[in-house]
Amino acid sequence: MIVVMIVLTIVFSILRAILPFGMWFLFSLVDLVIWLGFMVLWLFLMFKAYQNQKLVIPIIGQLAEKQA
């Protein structure tokens, strides 16, 4: 989540200087939707962990299992 948000911040900062306000506002809404998606995923994973269920996220989960 942190990596995605950093990349989006850089991209949106560049686009803010180039695009008019209307398009910048649209990209801000896209950013908000992505952030809310991450929050829903986080809450879902917390709920699964509370139920003692193992759920592996496709890319990140495999990396975490190797380090655990």
* Statement: residue 18 has pLDDT above 90: no
Q: Coil, strand or helix: which one is 57? A: coil
Domain count, the chain: 1
Q: Read off the pLDDT of residues 37-57 as tens digits, 9 standing for 90 and up.
A: 999 999 999 999 999 998 888
By residue range, what is the domain housing residue 11? Answer: 2-67
| Of 11, 34, 5, 35, nearest in space to 23 by CA | 11
How far is 42 from 48, CA to CA, in rounded Å?
Answer: 10
Q: Which two tokens stand for residue 21?
A: 């306000």
